[in-house]
Amino acid sequence: MAKRNKIRLKQGREIDLMRTACQTASAILQEVAAFIVPGKTTRQVDEFAGQLMKLRGILACR
């Protein structure tokens, strides 16, 4: 019989951390969207997003 994983409900501090992460991601995505114009390469967009993340002390998952 397969073991079922229960969904663990998040509590106060975890929810606050998730909220902060989502707000930061949203802000970065908005800045990146404004940066994109015809002629920009995906490399330029990626580098710009990386700079924004670095300014905020965020490490990308690789």
Cβ-proximal residues to 56 (8 Å cutoff; 6+ apart), any chain:
24, 28
In this structure, the chain runs to a length of 62
Considering its fold, how many domains does the chain have in total? 1
Per-residue pLDDT of the chain (62 residues; tens, 9 = 90+): 567 788 989 999 999 999 999 999 999 999 999 999 999 999 999 999 999 999 999 987 76
- Rounded to whole angstroms, how far apart are CA atoms 22 and 41? 26
| Residue 50 in domain | yes
| Residue 62 in domain | no
| Residue 40 in domain | yes
| Residue 6 in domain | no
- Rounded to whole angstroms, how far apart are CA atoms 42 and 32? 11
Instruction: State the DSSP code for 39.
Output: T
Q: Give the model's pLDDT for residue 59.
A: 84
| Residue 61 in domain | no
Look up the domain containing 32 and give its range.
Answer: 12-55
Q: Give the model's pLDDT for residue 2.
A: 65
| Residue 42 in domain | yes
